[in-house]
Structure 1
């Protein structure tokens, strides 16, 4: 039987999933490894590479959570990889089960650390992107994103999410300005995991702004 592209990608990824953590591997190390894989996955050039990195990152994150369920960073590292797996083929929601599992980890992060800025940024992003019947709230999401930016001036992802939300509401000039700042920050901070997305978002927003004018 011939494998579909998705099945083949998952099969390849499973070959590289992390081995179970040794008793001496710290939660901090597992969390760092999970976040590193998430960042590498964002930078990967091919779908197969992205699947591989996020699957490995998920394995590290699961091990971190298993060792310490009270660690907000462990839960966030797992969320990061689960969320990116849902975005591999674009922004559309492809798995309700996957979405619920992702949100479980995000909500657990904020339950343990209500001021976790990365998690707040992610929460705001989710709220502006998902439909209302699934719990989306564009106004609340934008407020969260603005709060994150105010507290962390170097926030890149929050700016990209806010820019896309503004564009969807017809606020094209503001969207382009915010996305431009996000790209400048990503480049100056050498955030290689965000630079490609920032460039793509800015290009798309400029095109939308041109149409709007």
Structure 2
């Protein structure tokens, strides 16, 4: 065999192995891309199921998504959120597991994304709320709050306000929220939190003033996204609650609940609640005919027998 033939044969071997390596590598990349695509699809299915309040189905999807894409922190965040929804209707036997699952998933988010602000806030709340045997830890809550303050002083103020609120140091919490509002007046959630806290400590006039201001501001927005709509719903409900508590502000409360009802025409549960709350406002003003109409409207869309019985008892008493 001549030298030229040997060189040619050697290069053929090199070319063969190079092509084989490229094919294997491309196959692995394709397989990885397919796996990631399946994981993302399952994540989207979990999101939709959670939005549709099909939480058990959402849980199945998100657990499968975790297996396929274990390094996606948003998957663990959604998993924690699904657990939080399941807690609302959980039995005493399963609630412990849901709380632990929620905490563990949020901790996984921070392992993958150490500066994840939302996960840190949720963990601060959980660490403060849970007993030690479920993973509650005030020291860890404070560590996270300090980290948030280094990332963004406003986020740190919010986290520390939540810690003070859990410890019933309401004055300190109010001060931190007021400081945050001065720094970021566009953060409406902070103002809602402040109004709720003011109401909790009996500063109802101040709270009502803030709620009414927020209601007007949100309704005058050029466009209202889902988040703003949810915030408006909370504000309107709290206006009506304060009015009933104070036996005052009934004009503002009527307006608030009329808007609340319009806001939730496609949600029977919230629509029914709106009718019942507006009926209570009318009853507080001795407007029984209006109240009866609203209560009967509520009966037509509410599925809960317990709630319907409550409405019937109220109708009998009018």
> TM-score, with normalisation over the residues of structure 2?
0.41
1:202 corresponding residue in structure 2: 194
Query: Counterpart in 2 of 1:127?
Result: 127
Asked if the contact 1:163–1:179 (Cα under 8 Å) also holds between the matched residues in 2, the reply is yes
Unaligned ranges ≥5, structure 2: 1-33, 204-318
Question: Contact (CA 8 Å) 1:37, 1:53: kept in 2 or not?
Answer: yes
Q: 1:166 aligned to 2:167?
A: no
Higher RCO, Cα 8 Å, sep 6+: 1
Cα deviation, residue 54, structure 1: 4.8
* Cα distance change of structure 1 residues 37 and 139 upon mapping to structure 2, 3 Å threshold: farther
Please tell me whether the aligned partners of residues 173 and 209 of structure 1 are also in contact (alpha carbons under 8 angstroms).
no
Give yes or no for contact 1:128–1:142 (8 Å, CA) kept in 2.
Answer: no
SS of 1:188's partner is coil
Whichever of the two has the greater Rg, that structure is 2
When residues 179 and 107 of structure 1 are mapped into structure 2, their CA distance, relative to the original with a 3 A threshold, is same
Question: Within 5 A, what are the aligned runs for 1:1-213?
Answer: 25=37, 27-28=39-40, 30-31=42-43, 34=46, 52=53, 54-55=55-56, 57-86=58-87, 88=88, 95-153=95-153, 155=155, 159=158, 162-180=160-178, 188=186, 195=189, 199=192, 201-210=193-202
Distance 2:49 2:180 in 1: 22
Q: 2 CA distance for matches of 1:60 and 1:183?
A: 39
- Flag the 1:70–1:166 CA change in 2: closer, same or farther, 3 A: same
> Residues 171 and 57 from structure 1, CA distance in 2 versus in 1: closer, same or farther, beyond 3 angstroms?
same
Distance, in Å, in 2 between the alignment partners of 1:183 and 1:33 is: 37
TM-score, normalising length: structure 1? 0.56
Aligned length: 169
Q: CA RMSD in A?
A: 4.3
CA distance in 2, matches of 1:28, 1:154: 33
Q: Report the equivalent of 1:17.
A: none
Cα offsets for 1:16-48 (capped at 9, x unmatched): xxxxxx97845456546656876x6xxxxxxxx
Residue ranges of structure 1 left out of the alignment (5+ in a row): 1-21, 41-48
